[in-house]
Structure 1
Amino acid sequence: MFLFSLRAALFGLVLGGLAACDVAYPVTVIGDNGMTFRGSATDTFLHGGSFQATNGNAVCTGTYDKFADISTVSFPVVCNNGLRGVGTAYFQSPTSGSGFVTMTDGSQWQFIFGRGALAL
């Protein structure tokens, strides 16, 4: 009985530790006019994530829900310069992919996240 309780406690600690793990990766966003934002996204195991990117003047942020079996997520984008939009991300792996954001002013922004974002 003690061995079973010990195993259950260890499993709970490992699972709890994983639930608190955050994984950060780079994000690069390019607007219609060539304006480039750079930042990062952070995934929290089993919860989703958030992102923040800046072009030196404006800062845009958002949060998203992501589950292990979902490779596409939609999310709101809010910028401190008044722009807002809705983005869609396509995950090729848990920490890389690409997508687009349609802003309320009608502009289309493209983004890449993960290692590929560093090349832009």
Structure 2
Amino acid sequence: MSLVMTAAVSASDTLTALDPGLVPGQVAPPDPPAQRPPGKLGDFVDQIIGWIKWGLIAAGVVGLLVCAGMIVVGRKRNHAMAIDGLTGTLWVVGGLALAAGASGIVAVFL
């Protein structure tokens, strides 16, 4: 009987040493790594992500060109338009930065 109790205690001590947030006797839930779905589903998801990335690149280029045009036109005629072009540039660059780091941000939480 004492051998069984000793084995149970050493297993829980080992588990607690690996994850200090666990209470002795508590079992850690499984946490398998992310895996790509087999077959055509994985290819389809990759294709959709690729289309979205392409759309974001195109929207970013158009957004920066529009903001540049607002700055150029607003410099001589309407200073508020130039200021809107500058603030719009910050929003476009911020959105592109968020899109570029999307997979890294998601990986932090998984």
Fold match by TM threshold 0.5: no
User: Which protein has the larger Cα radius of gyration, Structure 1 or Structure 2?
Assistant: 2
Q: Normalising by structure 2, what TM-score?
A: 0.29
Higher percent of residues as helix: 2
Q: Normalising by structure 1, what TM-score?
A: 0.27
Higher percent of residues as strand: 1
Q: Which has the higher contact order (CA 8 A, sep 6+)?
A: 1
